[in-house]
Structure formats: structure tokens, C-alpha cells
Amino acid sequence: MPNRIVPIVLALILATMLIGAQFGFTWAGGDGYVPPVQVTVVAANDTDVRVEHAGSMRFLGTPDHPKRGEIIHIGDGYVDLDFGGTGTIVSLDANTDLEIVSLKRERIEVRLLRGRMAVAPHPDMKKFTVHAGPAEFTVFGTGWLSVFHDLTKGTVSVAPIGTSVTALLEGTDSFVATSPFNYVYWWTPPGTEDISFNPATGATAPFYRRFLEAAGLD
């Protein structure tokens, strides 16, 4: 019996240490528990914006607080989000679906399932990562980033403005970009191409104008 107890106790201790490290508790070698970033809706067309959580849907309005694991669905409306505690502003355009993946202060992560978003990270923020298709794009606390995921063409359009973006792409090497590009994951093999980007022109100009005003960059 004693020979059986020792492995069980060791396994319990290891599991406890792993859980403690995950939450950053000092007794597990962490820097102390840091609560997740709270997301606040600061502007929305709440008649056409919904949140999906565990199979249920609800309307999203101000000042709602979307949580990790929830998916924001936008029809003809729009949403501006403030990732509280970091001063990071995210705007979502019409016909956009966004999943909140992680709200850890050291690395916020979202998944752009379809549509258009723009993010202006706070200068003190460590990382903001956007997953789109089989790729991820990480921006740090300067400038702003536009990402458009076109499911019909298997393409992700990425435009860093006044910043750089680290791109980790399936089928290509990772790289750091400072100019706009397309990642076409439907190509065989997947690849990238340079594109032009002007947020002040075209049908998307009103979206970028509202985003820049919300982010204080106008």
C-alpha cells in the first residue's frame, strides 16, 4: 500500500504546481495572479450584433463585456471594443465574426473567423495576436493593424500602419512585415503577395474613419 501512495501524492503535488503556475501564483514560481483583461463594448449597433456562448445567443450592446470563448457575430452593424487595462481599441466591421481566444495581459488573442477588423494596441501592451485562417499575426504596442479575412477567396489581407507585424503562416516561413500584403492559403502551396492599402478611400473608408476616431488616431 505505501508503494502505491507515494506516486499518487507526487502526482497530486505536480498537478497542483502546474495549476498554480498556470494562474501565476507566487508559491508555484509565478509573479502573482493577474486577472484577465476585461473587454468593454464602447460603441455598437446593438440591433444587429450578437454574441454566441456555448450554443446560446444574446444581443450585444453598450457597455456589455464579451468573455473569453465567446464569438461576436455582426450583420450590418459594427462594434468598437476597449480591451480594458491595456488601452487597446479594436473595431469590427459589418459581416464580421470574431472569437475571443485569450485575455491574458501578456498576450491578448482573438480569432477573425471572417470579415474586417482594426486594432490599435496600447504602447505598453506586450502582444496582440490575430488568428485568421491557418495563420497568426502579432502586433506590438505601436501604430495600428488592419486584418481582413475573405473566406470566399481563402485570403487574409494584412496592413500594418506605423508598426510591424510578425506573421506566422502555414506553408511559408514566418517573417516580420511593415507593408501591406495578402496571405492566400488556398494557393498550392500557400503564399503571399504585396498589395496597396489606403484607409481613406473606397467603400471601407467610413469604417476606418470611425476606428481612428475611437482609437484617438484621427
> What is the per-residue pLDDT across 177-186, written as a single tens digit (0 to 9) for each?
999 999 999 9
Give the strand pairing for 181-184 and 155-161. antiparallel
The whole-angstrom separation of Cα 116 and Cα 137 is: 14
Low-confidence winner among 11-15, 128-132, 179-183 (lowest mean pLDDT): 11-15
- The answer to whether residue 82 scores a pLDDT higher than 60 is yes
- How many domains does the chain divide into? 2
What Rg value do the Cα atoms of the chain yield, rounded?
20
pTM of the model: 0.84
Question: Within a 13 Å sphere around the CA of 95, how many CA atoms are in the beta-carbon half?
Answer: 7
Same domain, 96 and 23: no
Instruction: Give the phi and the psi of residue 31 in degrees, each rounded to 5.
Output: -95, 10
Same domain, 67 and 145: yes
Same domain, 164 and 182: yes
Same domain, 26 and 44: no
- The answer to whether residue 113 scores a pLDDT higher than 60 is yes
- Contacts of residue 96, Cβ cutoff 8 Å, sequence gap at least 6: 72, 74, 112, 114, 115, 116, 117
Same domain, 4 and 71: no
- The answer to whether residue 135 scores a pLDDT higher than 70 is yes
Same domain, 143 and 50: yes
Same domain, 5 and 94: no
* Domain containing residue 144: 35-214
15 confidence band (pLDDT: 50, 70, 90): low
- Contacts of residue 200, Cβ cutoff 8 Å, sequence gap at least 6: 208, 209
Q: What is the mean pLDDT of residues 119-128?
A: 89
Low-confidence winner among 63-67, 73-77, 122-126 (lowest mean pLDDT): 122-126
Same domain, 133 and 196: yes
Same domain, 68 and 132: yes
Same domain, 27 and 41: no
Same domain, 29 and 107: no
- The answer to whether residue 195 scores a pLDDT higher than 80 is yes
Using DSSP's 3-state secondary structure scheme, residue 72 falls into strand
